[in-house]
Every structure is written in structure tokens, then in C-alpha cells.
Chains A and B, each alone.
Chain A
Amino acid sequence: MDGKFISLIVLLPLFSFLILGLFGRKTFKTFSGIIGTTSIFASAMIAFITAYQYFFVVGQTNGVYQKIIAMKHVWLQFSPNVSIDMGIILDPISVMMIVVVTFISLMVHIYSLGYMKGEERFSVYYAFLSLFTFSMLGLVLACNIFQIYIFWELVGVSSFLLIGFYYDKPSAVAASKKAFIVTRFADLGFLIGILILSFNAETLDFETLISRLTDPNSEYLHRIVSASFLGASALTWGLVLVFMGGAGKSAMFPLHIWLPDAMEGPTPVSALIHAATMVVAGVYLVARLFPIYALSCPAALHVVAYVGIFSSMFAAIIACTQTDIKRVLAYSTMSQIGFMMFALGVSSYGGENGLGYMASMFHLFTHAMFKALLFLGAGAVIHYVHSNEMKDMGGLRKLMPITHLTFLIACLAIAGIPPFAGFFSKEEILAAAFASNPVIFYLAIATAGLTAFYMFRLYFSIFWNKAEFKSHSRHDSHDEHHGEGSSSMLIPLIILGICSIGVGFIPFGNFVSSDGVALHTEFHPTFSIAPVLIALAGILLAMTFYKKENEKPNRLAASFKGIYTSAYHKFYFDEIYLFITQKVIFNLIGRPAAWFDRNIVDGMINLIGEITQEISTLIRGIQSGRVQNYAIYFFCGIIGFAVLFIYFWK
């Protein structure tokens, strides 16, 4: 496959970013949306062609999907063996990811044409979107663990820029800082993990790294396993620290606190970055290193599994109590990513046992579709209502029929009702969990029920609940006519709606599996009965509570007061973090360090400065400005030199 052609997928968004970033504000203005969308459209087309080529033409050798290095360019050579390369790796997951990223990004670009219309920093917005798409594509195509780290940080930066897009809003500024600091903290773990792994395996290249650390006879594996620190081997530490980076980006407990606040950004950005693509980077990272986790270090994989299931359950409980619709969606994202994580965690490598891996990637794929749809639908609602709060909505189904329908599809998909996309992937995740760990399985089923409940709580609160929508804003003229947005906002909703129904039928196991061999999954109707019934129960419960305005939700909240309030306050995690950082770290470490810096370090510098100043005050009289004084100095100097040369210079 032609590496130059494939590299266009990554480079087109970069060009678009450079052009819009440099000239957008002055030259293109409103036209910049078209430029950004066109470039991402071209990029998406190339990605589709590449995916077709890979999956159906060149990817397979003897029925096994190969890893193809389409391009590799040595960027920084440390030693003959260790170098940072910039390259493109094609394997089932990276090809699937470029399709997802370019497709969702294209949808969001088109949607934003309508949503962000008239925005003052319209071209800046598109420049940032292009930057994000570029970094995300570079991340998924990375062939070198350091390349992935570089793009990982770029993704973090573009997320920071987009969360803080409304920089005149203090809450957005705080949210962007929070997201950046939390993920940066996690990335520190990632970097240390990279250093541990690459130091012991003596390579940064993914393929070499994986082969060296999975082959039971390799000396590298022996060395890294025998080196131990605090009771765990260096390999476990390395993998857990790499997972820490992934957990930060994927908002896994306890590094999840940034994701709900990230919803301060424009809604299409939430759809693209904080729901469909960037937040699954952590899942992708674990999947990329999956052979090492599964074959060499099951302990690290257990960490992944338990963190995943805990985050999933935890987020689902919080999501049931939130009233800001974007926050509900944010917690649901966290919960679904937890699903992907524990699916990876319960999986093992190769053959039938690799079901969890495949299910995780499948769920990543379907989740991207319906979660993007949910966010874009929520964006349309917010665009119309001018509020994020559930209580300001209700009864919108007649005003926004298309949004209503697509939102319903997405809700059914995420709840796991057949035949929508989420059903298939969730069933496989549950099957994988059932086969490996019953505790995780039962927790996962309970979480699936909660998912159905809170999604339909959201759905009924937005579109039903009140008999008729009453606008609280001053845009009363809206009430008269149709509430739908422009066609550029509706088309992505419809396309994503179709995808949310359709993508579940893709025989995903044929394309993506842990070892590249096609994995034929069988559909077990009997197994699906329990999860679907639980999901339906969740939906019915939500229906009785929220379809019509009534007192039941409040009474329920009152009867579970303790749990309800603590879940409403997100189990006080923000407060705990604030306490730890501000009270403990600031007071015990920060302030003494600041004192030391201000008084000792600065003091020394100031002392040098003051001494210099004193001396110069003493001797400045020499520079009197009188020509004759200078002449005398000159003359004295000459005499001095004469004496020196005549009497002392021997």
C-alpha cells in the first residue's frame, strides 16, 4: 500500500489547520468552515479507500490480518537500536480507528457549519478542529510508542484549546485547565511507563517491543520480569503506568474528574473529542499493547478490568442524578468507556478467548456512532432551548421531530435494545465477561440496566415530560415555527442515526480480533434475554417516572436521600481532590517550596544584584562626563603601562 497516499489522511487536516490558523481570521472568515470540512472530507474518503484496501484486498495473508508498516521515517536516532520514528502502521484496529475518527470528525465539521454559524472565532474553531483531527489520526496510526506519546500530548493540547474555546467564560477556562492538568498528570505516568518498557526492551518501536516482551524465550522479557520494585515486576509497573496514561485520557476512575467539566466546550466538540474519539484513546492504547498485557502480564490486565468495571458502575450511578444534559452524557461516556476497558481486561490473547478484545473494539466503534449522535442531538436541543438544564426542556418532540427520532435511536442503541448497534457490541462484552469473571458480569449487567434508565430519563425529560414546550428565553419567536436547526445540523444527525441502526450488523469479528485471525461470533438468543429484559425494565422505570411531569422522581430522591445527594455531588470527588491539592499539597509542599524559592533562591539572585549596584554606585564618579578627566585617566594609564613595561616586564 502506498504510504504517501495514506499519509495524506493525516496531513490534509494539518494543512487545513495551518491555512486556517495563519490566514483564517483575515482572509477566509466564514469561508473557513468550508475549507476545514472539505479537507476532512477528502481525508475521510482516503481513509475509507484505505480501509477497503486493507480489509478486502491486501491486509490478509493466509487468513490472518497482518501489521503493515506503510511508511516509516526515522526522526530522532538515539542509538543504533533505539530511535523515535514517524510512521504509519496499518492493522485492523488502526484502520478501524481512522475510519471512525475521520467519519465522526466529518460529521462534526458539517454539523458545526450550522451550530457555530455567526460565531466570532469561527475560523479559529475550525483550525482547532483540524488540529485535533490531525493529532488523533497521528495517534492511531503511530508505529512507535514515542510517536503515540507525541500525538497523545497534541490531542491533549487541542482538547484544552477547544474546551476553553469560550475563553471569556470563567467556568470554561477553569474546565480547560482542569482537563489539561489532570490528563497531564496521567501522562506523566504514561511517560514513565514508556521509559520502563523501552529501557528494558531497548526499543521504542511497537512491533519490536511487542515481540520482545511477549516471546517467552526472549532475554528482554526475562530481564524485565525479574527486575522488581515494591513487590511487582518492572513489566507490571510499566504496563500499569502506561494504563494510567490511558485512564487519564479515557476518564477512568480516579482520573475521571476532568471529563464532566470538559462539557464547557462547544457541544460539537464534546461530541467529537469528549465522547467519540479522544476519550477512547486510552482504550486504543491498551488494545495496541494488548499482546503484552495478555501474554506477559495478566496482573496488569486485571487492574484494567477492575478499574474499568468500577468506573462504569460509578459513572452510571452519578449519571442518574445529574440534571445538566451534557453532564449526563459525559458520565454515560465514562460508563461506556468503562465497558470497553473491562472487556479488554477480561479478554485473553488469540482465538475464541480473544472475544473481549474484539467486543471492546466493536463497542468502541458503535459507541462512537451513537454517542456522537447523542451529543449532536443534545447540541441541537441546547441550540434551540439556550440551556443545558433538563428542567428548562420537556415536550420538545413535536417541535424537533428529526432530532427527537434520531435521539431516540441513539438512546435505544446505548441501552442495548436489538436491533440497534449498541445491542450487538454490548452483548459480546457481556458474553466475554460471563466467560471469564462472573463478578464483573453481574456488575456489568446492573450497569447496563442503569444505562437504560438514565438514558431514558434524559430522553423523556427532554422530549416528553411537559405537554408543551415553553421557552424561557427571550427568543419567543422560535415558538411559532419549527424548532429544528439548519440542514447542515440535521444531515449529520440522520447519517449517524442510520449508522446507529446499521453498524451493529457488521460481522466485526471477521475484521478485528486480537491475533488477526477472523473470529466468528455466534449469536446466542438465550443469553441476550436477561440483559435486554433488564434494559427494558430500566426504560419502563424511566417512563413511569419521567414521561409525565409528576412527583415520583422527587419522592424517590427523598427516600434515597443519602445516596442521591452524594451521587448528585459526584460522590464529592471534586471536593476530595480540592482538599488534597489545596489543603494538603499546597500547604505542606507548595507553600514551603514557594517560601524557599522566594526567600532563598530569589534572595541569592537579589544579593548578587544588590552587591553589583552598591559597587557601581561607589565607582560611578569616575564617569564624570568631563573630557579632561578622561584625558588624565588615559595619561595615567599610559604612564602606568610605561612603568610596567620598563621596570617589571622582564
Chain B
Amino acid sequence: MTEIPLQHILFLSTALFFIGVYGFFTRKNMITMLMSVELILNSVNINFIAFNKYLFADKLDGIFFTIFIIVIAAAEAAVAIAIIINLYRSHKSIDVDETNEMKY
């Protein structure tokens, strides 16, 4: 069985990244936006793992970074959800277009 070439994996992660970015820019629901952020983070994770495996197979740096990012993503999700809950309490909505008071 032939190995999957690195380029395929990179293609996958790039696609995942831009899907996340697109979602973040276009969705109005804050929870969806949060999910998009998770997609972006995970695309980065895939990159790290892939480079670790293909280029520096005898090292663990990429894997450690991935674990860090997963932890940070979890923390970020907690904070973001807290923000969303507060936003819902004050605006009765989690639509980002409703929350444009902080302008000029």
C-alpha cells in the first residue's frame, strides 16, 4: 500500500482552513462562528501532525503543539460560550449583526 503523499494532506488542511474562514465571515450565528474557529484550529493541527510525520519522524514537537492547540481550543470554547450566553442575556439574540453598538 502506497503512502498518502504530503500534498494531499496539505490540500485537505488548506481546504479546511478556508472553509473555516469563510464560515467565520459569513455566518451570523455566533455558535456557528465558534464552530468555524474550531475548523481553523483543527486545520492547523492537521498541518502540524503531517509535517511532524513526514519531515521529522523522530521528533515529537508537532504532536506537542497539537495537544497544546487542542487544550487552548477547549479553553477558548469555554470563554466564547460564556460570551455568547452573556450576549444572549443582554440582547435576547446571538446574531452578531445585532451587536453593533461599539462603533464610532
Q: Which residues of A contact B (CB under 8 A)?
A: 620-621, 623-628, 631-632, 635
Contact = CB atoms under 8 A, between A and B. Distances in A.
A642 to B, nearest CB: 13
B25 A624 contact: no
Contact of B104 (A620, A626, A628, A631): A620
B104 A635 contact: no
A624 B100 contact: yes
B92 interface: no
A625 B97 contact: no
Contact of A635 (B21, B26, B102, B103): B21
Interface in B16-38: 21, 24-26, 33
Contacts of B21: 635
Nearest to B100: A625
Contacts of A632: 25
A623 B33 CA distance: 20
B60 interface: no
Contacts of A628: 24-26, 33, 96
Contacts of A623: 103-104
B101 A631 contact: no
A628 B32 CA distance: 13
Contacts of B103: 623-625
B101 A626 contact: no
25 contacts: A620-B104, A621-B104, A623-B103, A623-B104, A624-B100, A624-B103, A625-B99, A625-B100, A625-B101, A625-B102, A625-B103, A626-B96, A626-B97, A626-B100, A627-B96, A627-B99, A628-B24, A628-B25, A628-B26, A628-B33, A628-B96, A631-B24, A631-B25, A632-B25, A635-B25
A625 to B, nearest CB: 3
Contacts of B100: 624-626
Given A625-B101, A632-B25, A635-B21, 17 more contacts: A621-B104, A623-B103, A623-B104, A624-B100, A625-B99, A625-B100, A625-B102, A626-B97, A626-B100, A627-B99, A628-B24, A628-B25, A628-B26, A628-B33, A628-B96, A631-B25, A635-B25
Contacts of A620: 104
Nearest to A623: B104
8 nearest CB pairs, A to B: A625-B103, A625-B100, A620-B104, A625-B102, A623-B104, A626-B100, A627-B96, A624-B103
A626 B21 CA distance: 16
A631 B102 CA distance: 15
Looking at chain B, what size class is its interface with the partner chain? 10 to 19
A99 B104 CA distance: 70
Interface centre among B33, B96, B103 (most CB of A within 10 A): B103
A621 B103 CA distance: 9
B83 to A, nearest CB: 11
A440 to B, nearest CB: 79
A632 B22 CA distance: 10
A210 to B, nearest CB: 70
Interface string B76-104: 00000000000000000000110111111
B81 to A, nearest CB: 16
Contacts of B104: 620-621, 623
Nearest to B97: A626
A273 B82 CA distance: 74
A257 B99 CA distance: 71
A625 B101 CA distance: 6
B30 to A, nearest CB: 9
A627 B95 CA distance: 11
A322 to B, nearest CB: 68
A620 B103 CA distance: 9
Contacts of B33: 628
A626 B97 CA distance: 7
Interface string B27-55: 00000010000000000000000000000
A307 B97 CA distance: 85
A629 to B, nearest CB: 9
Nearest to A626: B100
Nearest to B21: A635
Contacts of B25: 628, 631-632, 635
A631 to B, nearest CB: 6
A480 B102 CA distance: 80
Contacts of A635: 21, 25
Contacts of A624: 100, 103
Contacts of A621: 104
Contacts of A625: 99-103
Contacts of A631: 24-25
A631 B22 CA distance: 11
A620 B102 CA distance: 12
A96 to B, nearest CB: 73
A299 B18 CA distance: 96
A313 B97 CA distance: 89
Contacts of B26: 628
Contacts of B96: 626-628
A158 B34 CA distance: 71
B21 to A, nearest CB: 7
A603 to B, nearest CB: 28
Contacts of A627: 96, 99
Nearest to B101: A625
A305 B10 CA distance: 104
A625 B99 CA distance: 7
B85 to A, nearest CB: 16
B32 to A, nearest CB: 12
A628 B24 CA distance: 7
Nearest to A630: B102
A628 B26 CA distance: 8
A632 B24 CA distance: 9
